[in-house]
Structure 1
Amino acid sequence: MTTWIDSNDYQDIPRPVVAIGNDYPPSHELEWHSHRRGQLLYAAKGVVALSTQHGAWVAPPERAVWTPAGVLHSVKMVGAVSTRSVLIDAGTCATLGDQSRVIGVSPLLRSLLVEACEIEREYDLEGRDGLVMSLLIAELERAPVIPLAVPFPMTPALVAKCHAFLEQPSPHDTIDGWSDALGMGRRAFTRLFRR
C-alpha cells in the first residue's frame, strides 16, 4: 500500500524542523523537484537513490541523504521503501552543509526520525515534541559523513549519458558502446571518464 504526503504542504509550517513519513511501492520514482527547506531523506525500510545535476547518492539501511534547500533532485526507490523525511530551515543545522551527502544514522537518530514523523505539524516548541526535534538536530550535527556518492563528469555529453544510464540501467552496456555513442575512441573515453 502506498501512502504519500506532499512535502510542499509542509514548506510553510512555522517550525524550524518538520517531518514526513511516506510509503512507496517497489521501483517508484519521484521526478525532478526541489524544496524550500533542506531535506534529510531516510529509508526506514528499503533503499533510496537520489540524483542531482552534480552526482548520485545511495542510502542503504542505516544511512540518510542530505539535500540542501533549492537543489533540484530526483529519487528512485529500490524495492518497497518506507521513508522518513525531515525538512530543515536554513541555519538550523549548519553542519549538514550546502552540498548533498550521505550520513550515518545511529540507532538513536533512527528512533528520532521515526518519532518525528508522529509529531503534529505545529508542535509545541517548548514541550516534549520540541525537545524531540532539538535532540534530532543535535544528533544530525554529530552524524558522520559516509562516502557513498558518485560525482558526475563535467563534459555535457558524458553527463547526459550518465543520467540516461541512471534512468534505465543496463548490465549489457560496455565501454566500447558508450565511447561509440559519444563519438570518441575507447582510450579518449576512459581518460575523460576518469577525469
Structure 2
Amino acid sequence: MYRQTDIPHPEPTRLGELKRLPRPLYGHRETLPNRAIPRRHRHPWAQLSYAARGVVEVATPEARFIAPPDRAVWIPPGRLHGVRCSRDSEIRSLYLDPEACDLEWPDCHVLEVQPLLRELIRAFGELPVLYDREGADNRLAQVLLDRLRAAPRVPLMLPWPREPRLTRLCQRIQERPDAPHRLSDHARRLGVAERTLSRAFRAQTGLGFRRWRQRCRLFAALPRLEAGERVTDVALACGYESLSAFIAAFREEFGRTPGELVNRAPL
C-alpha cells in the first residue's frame, strides 16, 4: 500500500532537489529525470531506467547493464551508478519508494518490458506528478507496479573487474570491439603468463575471457542495431569476420536473432 503523505508544494523539476519522492511511484514524462546522467551518482530511492527508443546503459562499479526498448534496468536505492544512452534515445525513467511499492530488490538487474508493461509506463508518464492517490490514476500506478513485479529477469549484464590492470584491459575492449583482443597479446603487454591472466580474469568477472569479450562486443552492437544500421555493418564494426558468426553469437547470448531482439516500435 502507498503511504498517505503528500507534498504541499508545486511539482518538482529536479530530482536532486527532492527530499522525498512526491509520490511512491514517480515518473512524469516532461520532468528532468527523463535524461541520461553519465556521471556516477546515487539517490535514496530505486530507479527503473527504460528507453522507449534507443538503448540505455547503466554502469555500476561491479557491472554494465544494457537495455534495448523491450528491456529496462532496475537500480536499487543507494547504488552508485551512471546512465548513458544511444543517440536519439527517449528515456522513461521511473523512481520508486521500494518499501511503499513492495519492490525491495537489492541488486541491479535487467527486466523484460512486455507490451502491457510498456503501455502502462507510457500512460503513467502522462499523469501529473501529483496524481490523485484516491482515484483512477492511483489504480493505474498499482497495475503498473503489479506488472513490474511480474516482469521476467534477463541476463543483459557485463561483469566488470576491480583490479586496475584488468579494468584497463576491459576498457580497451569496450572502446575498440572491432580489434582482435587476443588474451595472449594482452598477457604479453602486461608481462604475465597467459594462464595467470586467464585465471585472474575469471576470478574477477566470473566469465572466461572469450565469453566476456563476446558479450562486450554484442553489447556494443545493440545501439547500432537500434539505430537501424545494417546487420552486416554492425557485425564488422564489432569484431566479427562474417555475418553468420555474428548472428550465431547473438543467438547464443540472447536466445534471439538481432532483428528479433531489438524492438524498434516507439512509445
Normalising by structure 1, we get a TM-score of: 0.83
Q: Is 1:105 the counterpart of 2:117 in the alignment?
A: no
Q: CA–CA distance in 1 between the matches of 2:81 and 2:45?
A: 13
Structure showing greater relative contact order (alpha-carbon pairs closer than 8 Å, 6 or more residues apart): 1
Match of 1:50 among 55, 58, 61: 58
Unaligned segments of structure 2, at least 5 residues: 1-12, 204-267
Report percent identity of matched pairs. 32
Matched, 1:147 2:155: yes
- Where in structure 1 do 4 or more consecutive aligned residues deviate above 6 Å? none
Q: Which stretch of the first structure deviates more once superposed, 155-164 or 60-69?
A: 155-164
**Between structures 1 and 2, the one with greater helix share:** 2
Cα deviations by residue, 1:126-157 (Å, 9 ceiling, x for unpaired): 11211111111111111111111122235343
| C-alpha contact 1:96 1:141 (8 A) present in aligned 2 | no
Please state if 1:127 is matched with 2:135: yes
Q: How far did 1:191 drift? A: 2.1
**Whole-Å separation in 2 of the counterparts to 1:10 and 1:107:** 31
The answer for the alignment partner of 1:184 in structure 2 is 192
> Is 1:19 the equivalent of 2:27?
yes
Contact 2:98 2:104 in 1 (8 A): no
> Is 1:172 aligned with 2:190?
no
RMSD: 2.5
Gapped regions of structure 1 (runs ≥ 5): none
In structure 2, C-alpha distance between the alignment counterparts of 1:169 and 1:70, rounded to whole Å: 32
Instruction: Give, in whole Å, the separation in 2 of the partners of 1:50 and 1:130.
Output: 29
Q: Match of 1:33, SS?
A: coil
**Residues 7 and 184 (structure 1 numbering): CA distance in 2 closer, same or farther, change over 3 Å?**
farther
Matched with 2:91 is 83
Quick check: 1:103–1:146 contact (8 Å CA) kept in 2? Answer: yes
Q: Distance in 2 between matches of 1:164 and 1:40?
A: 29
Which digits, 9 at most, give the CA deviation of each residue in 1:55-94, with x for residues without a partner? 1111012110000011111122123210111100131344
Distance 1:189 1:97, change over 3 A: same
Q: 1:110 to 1:154 in 2, by over 3 A?
A: same
**Matches of 2:71 and 2:186, distance apart in 1:** 32
Give the C-alpha shift of residue 19 in structure 1.
Answer: 0.5
Could you say which structure has the larger radius of gyration?
2
Q: Hey, what's the Cα distance between the residues in 2 that align with 1:121 and 1:140?
A: 19
What is residue 193 of structure 1 aligned with on the other side? Answer: 201
Contact 1:96 1:140 in 2 (8 A): no
Moved more, 103-112 or 88-97: 88-97
1:158 to 153, 162, 166: 166
Partner amino acid, structure 1, of 2:199: R
Match of 2:72 in 1: 64
Q: Contact 1:40–1:85 (CA<8 Å) still a contact in 2?
A: yes
